[in-house]
């Protein structure tokens, strides 16, 4: 008999969703009596249906809207070092098939069977984001397992962000293993060199998810004047330069991110072809339109304007405004790339507001390509949140 506590679904819940692979149980779907409300966040329990039939082993957090996350379909599973290493080994084997160099997302949360956990690899270092209570509690065990399986010598815990707040977790930054790099880490992608600040940068220091979309944009960038709005460390701008763009202009609100973009361009010996502008992106685009500036390729990759369903309407309006302001900056016959990392906005909604914004910007367009995150960010089909990234490539006429 299992010594773990039991979490039971309400009679009107839909257990078949869990049996078919949906990994979450929401608070209104479970019986939350005094006993279950007192369970320790990040502990484990056996999930039962309303008829008391065991369904899965879950991690629980009574203080979260997601009260349980499926850890293993086997209710008798034991979550220990061996279990963690098995999940990590499976994830690593796939990445090693896909990438020649050890720079990728190693763990993409639920899609890799480690709910709420993000791990990005930067050569000999790994940065983990434990966004679920269980991963925060087992952070040291996870660091040891990551080092053992991936062979990294440093593991950094970046405990910041909205997801942790929703789980009731405090922000923290900690070196769990080894030492932090004493300088930003150079990362080669698509022929470009990026600098990742593992301790002070956004998220884990670099966004790997746009890799295939940056590669597609490179096909449009040869000999082009390129504008990269919300550029962070120069994601699309540096990729364009590596592909032979005549010039790239990067706009971002962070001076630190832009300094890293300049550093990356310098390592590529292309610093003379990079222009940076620290500014609010909306104001910068308005100013450029007034000045009559035009670019052959414009890319807008903003932060998540719709991080939740409650923010969806405002987020969609913001994406439409981005498209409206960006469209006039595209030279006739040029290209516009619009991106969204908001899981609450689905592809159809994002495409519709993007097209409407382009029209309000006085332009006509055809969609030539729709991209998503790379394969190191696998999608769990039952969980739309894992397929959050959308990149739309338009050719603008007239």
Intra-chain end-to-end CA distance of the chain, in Å: 71
- Start-end of H helices in 303-385: 312-326, 347-360
What angle separates helix 81-98 from helix 139-150, to the nearest 10 degrees? 40
CA-based nearest residue to 262, from 290, 297, 237, 287: 237
Active site residue 250: no
DSSP class of residue 169 equals P
Report the C-alpha gap between 90 and 104 in whole angstroms.
15
Report the C-alpha gap between 77 and 89 in whole angstroms.
17
Determine which one of 250, 300, 339, 341 is catalytic.
Answer: 341
Supply 44's token pair: 């484990």
CA–CA distance from 218 to each of 22, 237, 265 (Å)? 37, 10, 16
Report the C-alpha gap between 143 and 309 in whole angstroms.
33
CA-based nearest residue to 221, from 201, 197, 192: 192
Supply 137's token pair: 């509690």
- Is the distance from CB of 57 to CB of 44 less than 8 angstroms? yes
- Is the distance from CB of 288 to CB of 225 less than 8 angstroms? no
Supply 79's token pair: 């979550």
| Backbone phi and psi for residue 262, each to the nearest 5 degrees, phi listed first | -60, -40
Supply 295's token pair: 């670019």
DSSP class of residue 310 equals G
Supply 316's token pair: 């969609």
In residues, how long is the chain? 398
Angle at 317 between CA 314 and CA 319, to 5 degrees: 110
Q: Which residues belong to the active site?
A: 341
């Amino acid at each position: 008999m299992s010594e773990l506590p039991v979490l039971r679904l309400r009679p009107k819940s839909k257990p078949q969703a869990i049996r078919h692979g949906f990994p979450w149980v929401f608070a209104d779907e479970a019986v939350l009596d005094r006993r279950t409300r007192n369970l320790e966040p990040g502990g484990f329990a056996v999930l039962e249906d309303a008829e008391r039939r065991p369904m899965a082993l879950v991690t629980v957090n009574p203080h979260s809207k997601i009260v349980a996350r499926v850890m293993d379909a086997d209710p008798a599973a034991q979550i220990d070092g061996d279990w963690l290493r098995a999940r990590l080994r499976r994830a690593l084997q796939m990445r090693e098939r896909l990438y020649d160099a050890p720079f990728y997302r190693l763990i993409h949360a639920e899609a890799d069977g480690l709910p709420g956990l993000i791990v990005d690899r930067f050569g000999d270092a790994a940065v983990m984001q434990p966004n679920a209570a269980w991963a925060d509690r087992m952070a040291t065990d996870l660091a040891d397992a990551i080092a053992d399986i991936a062979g990294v010598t440093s593991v950094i815990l970046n405990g910041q962000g909205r997801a942790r707040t929703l789980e009731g977790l405090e922000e923290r930054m900690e070196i769990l293993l080894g030492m932090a790099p004493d300088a930003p880490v150079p990362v080669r992608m698509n022929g470009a060199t990026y600098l990742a600040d593992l301790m002070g940068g956004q998220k884990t220091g670099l966004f790997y998810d746009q890799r295939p979309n940056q590669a597609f944009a490179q096909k449009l960038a040869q000999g082009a004047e390129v504008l990269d709005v919300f550029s962070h460390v120069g994601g699309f701008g540096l990729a364009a330069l590596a592909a032979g763009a005549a010039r790239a202009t990067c706009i971002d609100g962070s001076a630190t991110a832009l300094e890293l973009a300049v550093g990356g361009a310098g390592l590529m010996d292309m610093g003379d072809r990079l222009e940076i502008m620290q500014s609010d992106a909306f104001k910068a685009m308005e100013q450029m339109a007034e000045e009559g500036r035009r670019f052959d390729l414009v890319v807008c990759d903003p932060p998540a304007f719709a991080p939740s369903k409650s923010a969806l309407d405002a987020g969609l309006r913001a994406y439409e405004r981005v498209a409206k302001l960006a469209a006039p900056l595209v030279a006739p016959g040029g290209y516009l790339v619009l991106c969204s990392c908001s899981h609450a906005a689905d592809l159809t909604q994002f495409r519709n507001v993007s097209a409407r914004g382009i029209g309000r910007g006085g332009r006509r367009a055809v969609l030539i390509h729709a991209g998503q995150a790379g394969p190191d960010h696998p999608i769990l089909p039952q969980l739309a949140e894992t397929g959050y990234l959308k990149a739309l490539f338009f050719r603008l006429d007239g």
